[in-house]
A and B are shown apart, each in its own frame.
Chain A
């Protein structure tokens, strides 16, 4: 969740900077130190994205989908089964987790592309407005994808285990 939160903030910062740079009259010329820091920002952002999805999928998700022993009544340590056990909370799994577990991967894939293009075309981006437009649009979509994953991650990992998600009914009864 820490990786994901920082990743989301890093994408937001990049989107703002990309939007701002589209309105510059003169391209900003960075010093060698500035260029290094820019690369560090992009690489760190990509690293955070991949760390978020990999730790999410291979550390947190196995805990989430753990199967309770037969006849085990207390489902509070088995989030997937706990949420699916009641119609009012089933949507947290059926829509929330099912969407989050897949859409989350879109953000690091897209942002890896964005970081690569921005690094490779750093000096010539103004000569390629179509490339710049694509990078901005894709980064915006990645921001949305990371936001959706982050929202459901926060709800499922923090809110739902504590409150059972009882006040937010997302979908009908789980099958």
Chain B
């Protein structure tokens, strides 16, 4: 990226997509990472705490999974909506976004792995 092309610059989006800014892609990628990490965090929280598990039980036959998944989806979509609005016509530092999103994704996967969750809880 040259000095004339800073991390963030505003560009118009063309209909054909020839000079689409990276903002919309960055918003989608980062929010997916956020959604996955929230899923992992909530799954560990619901496993560690009975009050949180009760709070997460939106549908009794499915148990805490109903709230954990629903809340993660809501946060993912909410984050995507906000970032998409903010980055709609911007070109953002996509490499940084990719690394951050990937780390969040890995965190989410690690936290869903029961032995790792148990380790965090000292079980």
Contacts and interface: CB of A to CB of B under 8 A. Distances in A.
Interface of A: 53, 57-58, 61-62, 65-66, 94-95, 98-99, 101-103, 105-106, 109-110, 112-113, 116-117, 120-124, 127-128, 130-131, 133-135, 137-138, 141, 145, 171
B22 A131 contact: yes
B105 A57 contact: no
Nearest to A144: B109
A106 B114 contact: no
B53 interface: no
Interface bracket on B? 35 or more
A121 B20 contact: yes
Contacts of B16: 123
Contacts of A134: 25, 29, 94, 97-98, 101-102
B20 A117 contact: no
Contacts, number: 115
B29 A138 contact: yes
A65 B61 CA distance: 8
Most interface-central of B20, B25, B61 (chain A CB within 10 A): B25
Q: Identify whether the interface residues of B are mostly helix, strand, loop, or mixed.
A: helix
Interface string B58-95: 01011101101100110010000000000000000011
Given A94-B114, A99-B112, A121-B25, A57 B69 contact: yes
A106 B109 contact: yes
Interface string B1-34: 0000000000000001111101011001101100
Contacts of A171: 115
Nearest to A116: B28
Contacts of A105: 39, 69, 72-73
A128 B32 contact: no
